[in-house]
């Protein structure tokens, strides 16, 4: 499933580039935007340039972000490069503003889907993921900040109209990424169960999260229960639900959105 999501995300980004951005000399975010720029200025295909520019950051990702994450990221980068190579560059719209807006939305959807599959599309995304580990910043906002340089490059090399269109595309991309990618959102779970030890053991193995265990007693039944309290990211919710359902389908679970976490909290 994750592999299919990564490929689908790469396909959306490639369509956004070749159908909406490249025909109007509008750059995208990060290294992909630089690849588009070099592809316009040179006869080298954008897909080839995208792969070459991403290689150093992929090595950094292997060191800092783990093998599984970077494996999906490599798949994403390769898939995007292949799609950029095989999808023809076609001008679907003659209006640059509409093209920048729609191209930015499609790019954001593709990048967001890729993030949801626990991968990235490479480039500045890897840097943003590293920064997001330290602080709970929305990834789309981080990407928008880092892409200010791309906008300036578009202005100096092409035109300031192209720079403004690039700004619209990058802004739209960031907003859509933040809508789809919600890993910075934290949830507090209170799990009331008769199988506290089993659920606790499975959660500790699969999620790498701290859990507070509280002995409790049902007011109506008078039976002993265990309350497990933990804070997770929104992405981990489905996995937690699966663990609980497999272990104790009758467990009572209260889920609330957490405004802020102070203290020790492992950011993936």
SS3 (DSSP) at 210:
coil
Percent of the chain clearing pLDDT 90 (strictly above):
23
pLDDT in tens, 71-130: 888 888 889 989 999 999 999 888 999 999 999 999 989 988 887 777 777 777 676 666
Strand partners, 190: 229, 254
The stretches of the chain forming alpha helices (DSSP H) are 2-16, 30-41, 46-64, 67-86, 96-116, 124-134, 139-146, 148-157, 160-180, 196-207, 237-247
- What confidence score (pLDDT) does residue 137 get? 59
Query: Domain check: are 175 and 203 in the same one?
Result: no
Query: Domain check: are 133 and 218 in the same one?
Result: no
Query: Domain check: are 226 and 144 in the same one?
Result: no
127, 198 in Cβ contact below 8 A?
no
Q: Roughly what angle, to the nearest 10 degrees, separates helices 67-86 and 46-64?
A: 180
Handedness of CA 198, 201, 204, 210 (dihedral sign): positive
Q: Could you tell me the pLDDT band of residue 37, with boundaries at 50, 70 and 90?
A: confident
Q: Could you tell me the pLDDT band of residue 139, with boundaries at 50, 70 and 90?
A: low
- What confidence score (pLDDT) does residue 103 get? 93
Query: Domain check: are 59 and 169 in the same one?
Result: yes
- What confidence score (pLDDT) does residue 140 get? 59
Q: Which residues of 113-141 are buried (b: 16+ CB within 10 A; e: fewer)?
A: bbbbbbbbbbbbbbbbbeebeeeeebbbb
- In which domain, by residue range, is 64 found? 2-180
- What confidence score (pLDDT) does residue 267 get? 53
Query: Domain check: are 159 and 224 in the same one?
Result: no
Q: Give the C-alpha separation, 212 to 227, whole Å.
A: 8
- What confidence score (pLDDT) does residue 102 get? 93
- What confidence score (pLDDT) does residue 82 get? 92
Number of domains in the chain: 2
- Residue 40 backbone class (left: φ over 0; alpha: ψ -120 to 50; beta: rest): alpha
Which residues does 111 contact at the CB level (< 8 Å), separation at least 6?
Answer: 9, 13, 120, 121, 125, 173, 176, 177, 181
For residue 266, being part of any structural domain is answered with no
- Check residues 68 and 134 and name the one with the higher pLDDT: 68
Tell which residue, 196, 267, 187, has the closest CA to residue 226: 196
Q: Could you tell me the pLDDT band of residue 186, with boundaries at 50, 70 and 90?
A: confident
Query: Domain check: are 94 and 129 in the same one?
Result: yes
- What confidence score (pLDDT) does residue 184 get? 60
- Transcribe 106-138 into DSSP letters: HHHHHHHHHHHTT---STHHHHHHHHHHHS---
CA distance readout (Å), 71 to 48, 154, 160: 19, 32, 38
- What confidence score (pLDDT) does residue 112 get? 86
134 pLDDT higher than 70: no
Q: Could you tell me the pLDDT band of residue 263, with boundaries at 50, 70 and 90?
A: low
Handedness of CA 153, 127, 178, 8 (dihedral sign): positive
- Check residues 206 and 44 and name the one with the higher pLDDT: 44
Query: Domain check: are 84 and 160 in the same one?
Result: yes
- Check residues 181 and 167 and name the one with the higher pLDDT: 167
Given the DSSP bridges, would you call strands 224-233 and 186-193 parallel, antiparallel or unpaired? antiparallel
Average pLDDT of the segment spanning 35-46 = 88
Query: Domain check: are 168 and 107 in the same one?
Result: yes
Tell me the longest C-alpha to C-alpha distance in the chain. Answer: 76
Read off the pTM. Answer: 0.67
Q: Give the C-alpha separation, 146 to 143, whole Å.
A: 5
Query: Domain check: are 141 and 232 in the same one?
Result: no
Query: Domain check: are 39 and 137 in the same one?
Result: yes
- Transcribe 86-106 into DSSP letters: HS------S-HHHHHHHHHHH
Query: Domain check: are 124 and 237 in the same one?
Result: no
The CATH number given to whatever domain includes residue 206 is 3.30.70.120
- What confidence score (pLDDT) does residue 180 get? 79
Residue located via tokens 């709970």: 136
135, 56 in Cβ contact below 8 A?
no
């Amino acid at each position: 499933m994750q592999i299919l999501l990564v490929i689908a995300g790469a396909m959306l980004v490639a369509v956004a580039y070749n159908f909406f951005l490249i025909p109007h000399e509008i750059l995208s975010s990060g290294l992909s935007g630089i690849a588009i720029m070099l592809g316009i200025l040179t006869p080298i295909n954008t897909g080839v340039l995208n792969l070459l520019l991403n290689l150093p950051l992929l090595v950094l990702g292997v060191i800092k972000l783990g093998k599984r994450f970077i494996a999906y990221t490599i798949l994403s980068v390769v898939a995007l490069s292949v799609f950029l190579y095989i999808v023809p560059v076609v001008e679907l719209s003659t209006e640059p503003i509409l093209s920048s807006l729609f191209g930015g939305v499609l790019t954001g959807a593709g990048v967001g889907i890729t993030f949801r599959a626990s991968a990235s599309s490479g480039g500045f995304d890897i840097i943003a993921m590293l920064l997001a580990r330290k602080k709970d910043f929305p990834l789309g906002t981080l990407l928008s900040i880092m892409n200010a340089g791309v906008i300036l490059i578009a202005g100096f090399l092409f035109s300031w109209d192209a720079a403004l269109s690039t700004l619209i595309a990058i802004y739209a991309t960031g907003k859509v990424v933040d809508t789809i990618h919600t890993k910075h959102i934290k949830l507090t779970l209170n799990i009331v169960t008769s199988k506290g030890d089993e659920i606790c053991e499975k959660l500790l193995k699969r999620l790498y999260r701290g859990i507070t265990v509280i002995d409790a007693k049902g007011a109506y039944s008078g039976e002993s229960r265990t309350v497990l309290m933990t804070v997770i990211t929104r992405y981990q919710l489905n996995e937690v639900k699966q663990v609980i359902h497999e272990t104790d389908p009758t467990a009572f679970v209260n889920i609330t959105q957490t405004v802020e976490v102070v203290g020790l909290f492992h950011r993936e």
